[in-house]
Amino acid sequence: MSTSATGAKAELNPPVSEQDHSIGPKNAAVTLVEYGDFECPHCGAAHLIVQEARQALGDRLRFVYRHFPLTQIHPYAESAAEASESAAAQGKFWEMYNLLFENQDSLDEWSLADFAEQLGLDSEQLARDLENHTYQERVEQDFNGGVRSGVHGTPSFFINGSRYNGSWELGPLLAALQEAADNARE
């Protein structure tokens, strides 16, 4: 991968593990990690771009999402992240992930309860999880890992463990991912 696309010193810490939410083969040529915030409009735009990249690369790409809620500017980011973790405990992280990004302007507690119902989740359990901050520590672990990895804003991407500093528009991101996939075959 070219040095213009990755930070020479910014490495993913901690590395991807079983604790992460990932989609795609574990042995994929490329692992793309995003530190994101469900309320961030830039992450909302990146969500669509990541979907297109996943479609273009197919089984050559594994995508990992980690929480980095910017609570100072996004008042619902933390609760949305916790709601996604509650959904994960009920087996529907990726479904909730999609709903949260598709409805970024509606992330209050009533909307989160509606999303749980739409997904067939136990909405009372989700409400208890939010009230008790059951998954706050899990969200904080992701956030602290982002800080250790040099994340300052969202979205932030890592390709095969190295910080990607290029544009996250589809063309440049897809080119960097394909370059990483080609390098992995060598």
* Domain assignment present for 82: yes
* Domain assignment present for 1: no
pTM above 0.85, yes or no: yes
Tell me, what's the pLDDT at 185? 74
Sign of the dihedral through C-alpha 127, 128, 129, 131? positive
* Domain assignment present for 44: yes
Torsion of CA 2, 147, 31, 20, to 10 degrees: 180
Residue 33, classed as helix, strand or coil, is strand
Beta-sheet pairing, 61-67 with 30-36 = parallel
pLDDT tens digits, 9-63: 589 999 999 999 999 999 999 999 999 999 999 999 999 999 999 999 999 999 9
> CATH no. for residue 100?
3.40.30.10
In the chain, how many domains are there? 1
Residue 179 lies in domain: 6-185
Tell me, what's the pLDDT at 5? 46
* Domain assignment present for 125: yes
* Domain assignment present for 81: yes
* Domain assignment present for 16: yes
